[in-house]
Amino acid sequence: MRATRLIYKLRTGNKSYEERFRTLDLPTLKYRRLRSDMIETYKILSGKYDASVSPVIPLVTDTVTRSNTLKIGNRRTHYDTRKYFFCNRVTNIWNSLHYL
């Protein structure tokens, strides 16, 4: 928020944070988080990280898919705290991606 006020042209007007954000055409925090989650998932699945340090993401190998050969299996959770962990958070988004 403070960085958008440091730009001279935006400092002179009495604009709100949302208006300054749209004027600068910056991506939203939700989009940046989603993008970084997908990048990290790719790095984990392609073996860019050490296997002893990276989380275990279960792949589904018994299904026939047209779009994505690296489908991630859903894990069942009993509590909400586990539902929002990284491996569970990225599953549906990753499985909906289409590869060329």
For 33-47, what is each residue's pLDDT tens digit?
A: 999 999 999 898 888
77 within a domain of the structure (yes/no): yes
82 within a domain of the structure (yes/no): yes
90 within a domain of the structure (yes/no): yes
5 within a domain of the structure (yes/no): no
CB atoms within 10 A of CB 64: 4
Task: Choose between 24 and 75: higher pLDDT.
Answer: 24
12 within a domain of the structure (yes/no): no
20 within a domain of the structure (yes/no): no
Locus of tokens 């993401």: 57
Is the CB of residue 20 less than 8 Å from the CB of residue 1?
Answer: no
8 within a domain of the structure (yes/no): no
Domain that holds residue 54: 29-95
Average pLDDT, whole number, for the chain? 81
48 within a domain of the structure (yes/no): yes
Length of the chain: 100
How many domains would you assign to the chain? 1
